[in-house]
C-alpha cells in the first residue's frame, strides 16, 4: 500500500526503534562547527546535520560511552581504589587522591559533572583491571548497539590516533544512554551535595548549557587540542528530548542554541498511534487474519511543508505458523524515494472471518 501526501507539520521520522539512513542532506542553516547533528532521542529522526558522518576526535564526550558501559556492566555500590595512574592523569580532574575508595556511583558523578579523567581511569581499572581491557568493552558494546564509525582507546578521550567517533554515532550513544534513568539524573543535575548520597565530596556541573537553554537536561562538554571544543546536549521539547552534538566548534554554546532554535521553530511532536492500536489487518487464512499493531505509543517530530510516502510491507508468502506477539511485516516511511524510517509491527491474531484491511495512516496524512 502506498500513500503520498503533503503535510503541514509532519514527518521527519517514524517510530521508536526506527533506524534512520545516514546520508541525510544538510540543512541550509550554517553552523560554525566541523560536524554537527540534532536527532530525536527516541525515534532517532535526524532534524539537522552537518558532516555528521565525518570521523573526528571527540575529547571528553567519550565519557558518555564510558558511563553507558559502567551502567550496563557495573555495580553502583562497589568501591574502587584510586590508583597512582588515575591520581596523576593530566587534563580535567576531580582531584581524587591515591588510595581513596570511591563507589562507582560517585565516580560517575565525578566523571560527568567534573569531567574527571581520574574518575575515568578509576572506573576502567576498577571494572576491568586496566584501561585497555575497559576500552575493549567499550568497543564491543558500541558495536552491539549499532555504532559503526567509532573506536575507543580510553575512557576519558584524551587525544589518541585511533580514538575517534562521529557526530551521528555520539548522538546514537547518547540516545542509548538516555534510556537509563540514572544517566538522565546525573547529567541533568547542576549541583550535588556530598551529604545527599554519602559521597566523599560535593560536585558542581561545569556544563553551561544547563543554564543557557530552557529545559536543557544534559549532557557533556569536551575539549582537547586535537578535538577542539565539543558539546553534546539534550533538551526536553515537551513530548521528547532532542540530542544536539557539535564537534570542533569554538562557539559551542551559541551554535547549540542556534540548532535548538531551528528545531523548535521548524518541528513539533505529534502522536501518530497509541500502544496496541491496529495499523493494518492482513488476511493469511480463510478464517484468520493478523492485526498489525504498534507495541508502544508513537510520538514523532514532524517538519513543516514536507511530503512523504508510506508503505506497510508484508510477506507475500507465509512459510511458518504465525503466533501472537510475533513481529510480522513493517511500516516504512520514504522521503524522495529514500527510506527514512522503518519499524517492525507486532501480530495480534483474530480467529474471525477476514475483514477488509484498513490503514490508520490514511487519516493521519489527510
pLDDT higher than 80, residue 148? yes
- State the cell numbers at 35: 560536524
Instruction: Give backbone dihedrals phi and psi of 27, rounded to 5 degrees, phi first.
Output: -70, 155
pLDDT higher than 60, residue 354? no
Residues in CB range of 106: below 8 A, 6 or more apart:
197, 199, 200
- State the cell numbers at 53: 558522518
pLDDT level of residue 351 (50, 70, 90 thresholds): low
- State the cell numbers at 72: 550496563
Across 97-126, average pLDDT = 98
The angle, 0 to 180 degrees and rounded to 10, between the axes of the packed helices 181-188 and 104-113 is 50
* Helix/strand/coil for 124: helix
Complete DSSP assignment for 274-287 = -TT-EEEEEE-SSS
Query: Which residue has 575529547 as its cell numbers?
Result: 59
pLDDT higher than 80, residue 146? yes
The angle, 0 to 180 degrees and rounded to 10, between the axes of the packed helices 62-73 and 117-128 is 30
| Pairwise CA distance, residues 165 & 142, whole Å | 11
DSSP state at residue 116: -
Report pLDDT digits (tens) over 187-239: 999 999 999 999 999 999 999 999 999 999 999 999 999 999 999 999 999 87
Domain residue spans of the chain: 3-14+274-364, 35-268
| Pairwise CA distance, residues 293 & 360, whole Å | 11
**Do 268 and 9 meet the contact criterion of CB atoms below 8 Å apart?**
yes
Report pLDDT digits (tens) over 294-331: 888 877 787 888 877 778 887 776 666 777 778 877 87
pLDDT level of residue 24 (50, 70, 90 thresholds): very low
Across 4-20, average pLDDT = 34
**E-strand stretches of the chain:** 3-6, 9-11, 35-40, 46-50, 79-81, 101-103, 191-192, 203-204, 216-224, 228-236, 241-247, 267-273, 278-283, 289-293, 298-304, 307-313, 327-335, 338-350
DSSP state at residue 191: E
pLDDT level of residue 22 (50, 70, 90 thresholds): very low
Residues in CB range of 48: below 8 A, 6 or more apart:
26, 27, 29, 31, 36, 37, 38, 259, 262, 263
Across 26-44, average pLDDT = 88
Complete DSSP assignment for 59-107 = GGGHHHHHHHHHHHH--TT-EEEPPHHHHT--SS---PPTT-EEEHHHH
Lowest mean pLDDT among 94-98, 337-341, 360-364: 360-364
CATH number for the domain whose boundaries are 35-268: 3.40.710.10
| Torsion 44-50-53-54 (CA) sign | negative
Across 36-51, average pLDDT = 94
pTM, full prediction: 0.85
Residue % of the chain over a pLDDT of 70? 85
> Is the pLDDT higher at 358 or at 283?
283
| Pairwise CA distance, residues 294 & 189, whole Å | 34
Lowest mean pLDDT among 35-44, 137-146, 281-290: 281-290
Report pLDDT digits (tens) over 44-94: 989 999 999 999 999 999 999 999 999 999 999 999 999 999 999 999 999
* Average pLDDT over all residues of the chain: 86
Amino acid at each position: 500500500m502506498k500513500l503520498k501526501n503533503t503535510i503541514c507539520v509532519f514527518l521527519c521520522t517514524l517510530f521508536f526503534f526506527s533506524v534512520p539512513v545516514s546520508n541525510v542532506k544538510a540543512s541550509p542553516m550554517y553552523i560554525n562547527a566541523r560536524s554537527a547533528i540534532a536527532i530525536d532521542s527516541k525515534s532517532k529522526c535526524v532534524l539537522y546535520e552537518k558532516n555528521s558522518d565525518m570521523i573526528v576526535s571527540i575529547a571528553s564526550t567519550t565519557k558518555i560511552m564510558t558511563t553507558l558501559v559502567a551502567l550496563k556492566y557495573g555495580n553502583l555500590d562497589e568501591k574502587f581504589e584510586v590508583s597512582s595512574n588515575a591520581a596523576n592523569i593530566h587534563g580535567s580532574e576531580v582531584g581524587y587522591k591515591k588510595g581513596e575508595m570511591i563507589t562507582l556511583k560517585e565516580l560517575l558523578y565525578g566523571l560527568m559533572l567534573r569531567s574527571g579523567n581520574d574518575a575515568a581511569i578509576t572506573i576502567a581499572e576498577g571494572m576491568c583491571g586496566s584501561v585497555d581491557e575497559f576500552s575493549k568493552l567499550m568497543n564491543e558494546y558500541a558495536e552491539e548497539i549499532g555504532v559503526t564509525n567509532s573506536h575507543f582507546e580510553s575512557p576519558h578521550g584524551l587525544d589518541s590516533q585511533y580514538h575517534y567517533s562521529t557526530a551521528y554515532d555520539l548522538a546514537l550513544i547518547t540516545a542509548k544512554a538516555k534510556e537509563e534513568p540514572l544517566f538522565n539524573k546525573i547529567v541533568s543535575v547542576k549541583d550535588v551535595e556530598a551529604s545527599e548520597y554519602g559521597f566523599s565530596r560535593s560536585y558542581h556541573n561545569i556544563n553551561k548549557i544547563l543554564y543557557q537553554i530552557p529545559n536543557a537536561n544534559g549532557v557533556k562538554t569536551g575539549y582537547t587540542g586535537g578535538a577542539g571544543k565539543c558539546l553534546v546536549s539534550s533538551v526536553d521539547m515537551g513530548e521528547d528530548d532532542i540530542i544536539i552534538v557539535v564537534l570542533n566548534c569554538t562557539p559551542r554554546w551559541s551554535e547549540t542554541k542556534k540548532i535548538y532554535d531551528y528545531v523548535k521553530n521548524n518541528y513539533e511532536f505529534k502522536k501518530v498511534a497509541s500502544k496496541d492500536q491496529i495499523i493494518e489487518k492482513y488476511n493469511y487464512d480463510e478464517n484468520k487474519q493478523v492485526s498489525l499493531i504498534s507495541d508502544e505509543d508513537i510520538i514523532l517530530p514532524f517538519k513543516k511543508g514536507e511530503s512523504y510516502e508510506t508503505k506497510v510491507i508484508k510477506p507475500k508468502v507465509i512459510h511458518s505458523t504465525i503466533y501472537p506477539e510475533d513481529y510480522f511485516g513493517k511500516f516504512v516511511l520514504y522521503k524522495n524515494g529514500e527510506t527514512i524510517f522503518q519499524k517492525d509491527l507486532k501480530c495480534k491474531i483474530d480467529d474471525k472471518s477476514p475483514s477488509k484491511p484498513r490503514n490508520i495512516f490514511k487519516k493521519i496524512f489527510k
